């Protein structure tokens, strides 16, 4: 076995480096980038391990989102009628549910990303940002089949691809950036306040109704001022912009501005909060 040039320098005396100091933010980010494969491969392997014992196996990654959308369609499309103001309710619903659940899954997963990896944190020195990053990557990868399903469903309900479809990747990238910021924030908060994991599901249930996932906010809320207040909700912004792309639903400029601000501010805030106390994580 070789020693990778790390040891055998017999003649030269190498200076000792401080082992306890904290790297600069730039060095930190560079090291995190160098190790990025960790945050891609490990969650991919975890997804694989997840359904290994089931009969359907890896098919669950497709069946699960299909069931999710199916249940909502049954309840809100067939049994209770909330269609008013929407032409293509199935397409409308699918886009909303799928995108909402992406942010929800990422957040829940990331909130335990530090606390569930304490063993690793206590034994190996590496940029901790890789742990919430792994949560984001894993849940986003798991969401790809759902996205494909949503696009097929939108086509099947009679929509034709327009030039607006090309804007969708930008909306998804903005959502990814926002999700990443939230992941960093909740990963950090989850370490000092594990109670967060109990609170989050309820918070998301509330957000679900405030994000216009299953009904059209424009059709239910009459006042313009109140409609604008919805633009403060980042998930509403994402869903509304995506519906504009795929279904030609109307979008307010405030909503676009809201998304643009959230997808820049959230990662910045998340990183600062996470990085500031990183050395104390797990100690």
Partner 1 sequence: MSDPTVTVEVREAHVSYRVFEEPAMGLKQGFARGRMRRQYRMIPAVQGVTLNLHEHETLGLIGPNGAGKSTLLAAMTGLLPLRSGSIRGRSRPSLLGVSSVLRPALSGRRNILIGGLALGFTRAEVERRMDEIIDFAGLRAAIDRPMRTYSAGMRARLRFAIATARIPEILLIDEALTVGDEEFRRLAAERIDDVRSAAGSVVLVTHNMNEIRRFCDRVVWLDEGRIRAVGEPAEIVDGYLSAPSSNSR
Contact positions vs partner 1 (CB under 8 A): 1-4, 6-10, 13-14, 16-20, 34-35, 37-38, 41-42, 45-46, 48-49, 52, 117-126, 279-280, 283
Q: Which is nearer to partner 1, 40 or 265 (CB)?
A: 40
CA dist., res. 139 & res. 43, Å (int) = 8
Residues in the chain: 283
Q: Which is nearer to partner 1, 50 or 82 (CB)?
A: 50
Q: Which of 37, 27, 87 is nearest to 219 (CA)?
A: 87
Residue pair 72/214 in contact (Cβ under 8 Å)? The answer is yes
What tokens were used for 229?
């207040």
Residue found under tokens 């049954």:
74
Q: Which is nearer to partner 1, 18 or 81 (CB)?
A: 18
Nearest distance in Å: CB 184, partner 1: 20
Nearest distance in Å: CB 272, partner 1: 19
Give the up-direction half-sphere exposure of residue 109: CA atoms within 13 A in the CB hemisphere. Answer: 22
Angle between the N-to-C axes of helices 168-192 and 196-210, in degrees from 0 to 180, rounded to the nearest 10: 150
Grouping H, G, I as helix, E, B as strand and the rest as coil, residue 275 is helix
Nearest distance in Å: CB 51, partner 1: 11
Q: Which is nearer to partner 1, 38 or 254 (CB)?
A: 38
Any long-range contacts for 6-15 (C-beta under 8 Å, 24+ apart)?
Answer: none
Supply φ then ψ for residue 55, to 5 degrees. -65, -45
Q: Which is nearer to partner 1, 85 or 282 (CB)?
A: 282
Nearest distance in Å: CB 21, partner 1: 8
Nearest distance in Å: CB 118, partner 1: 8
What tokens were used for 265?
């501010």
CA dist., res. 239 & res. 86, Å (int) = 14
Nearest distance in Å: CB 85, partner 1: 47
How far is residue 82 from each of residues 92, 100, 165, 212, 217, measured CA to CA in Å?
Answer: 12, 18, 26, 11, 11
Nearest distance in Å: CB 34, partner 1: 8
């Amino acid at each position: 076995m070789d020693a990778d040039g790390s040891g055998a320098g017999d003649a030269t005396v190498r200076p000792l480096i401080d082992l306890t100091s904290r790297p600069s933010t730039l060095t930190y980010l560079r090291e995190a980038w160098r190790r990025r494969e960790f945050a891609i491969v490990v969650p991919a392997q975890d997804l694989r391990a997840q359904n290994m014992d089931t009969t359907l196996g890896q098919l669950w990654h497709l069946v699960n989102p299909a069931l999710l959308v199916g249940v909502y369609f049954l309840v809100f499309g067939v049994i209770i009628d909330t269609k008013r103001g929407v032409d293509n309710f199935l397409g409308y619903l699918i886009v909303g549910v799928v995108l909402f659940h992406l942010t929800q899954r990422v957040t829940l997963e990331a909130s335990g990303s530090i606390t569930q990896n304490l063993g690793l944190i206590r034994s190996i020195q590496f940029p901790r940002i890789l742990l919430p990053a792994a949560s984001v990557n894993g849940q986003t990868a798991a969401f790809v089949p759902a996205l494909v399903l949503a696009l097929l469903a939108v086509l099947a309900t009679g929509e034709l691809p327009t030039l607006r479809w090309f804007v969708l990747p930008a909306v998804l990238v903005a959502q990814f950036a926002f999700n990443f910021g939230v992941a960093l924030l909740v990963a950090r908060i989850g370490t000092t306040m594990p109670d967060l994991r109990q609170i989050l599901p309820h918070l998301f249930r509330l957000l679900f109704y405030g994000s216009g996932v299953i009904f059209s906010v424009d059709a239910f809320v009459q006042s313009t001022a109140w409609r604008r207040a919805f633009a403060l909700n980042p998930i509403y912004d994402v869903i509304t912009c995506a519906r504009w792309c795929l279904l030609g639903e109307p979008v307010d400029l405030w909503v676009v501005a809201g998304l643009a601000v959230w997808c820049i501010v959230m990662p910045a805030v998340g990183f600062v909060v996470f990085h500031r106390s990183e050395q104390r994580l797990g100690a």
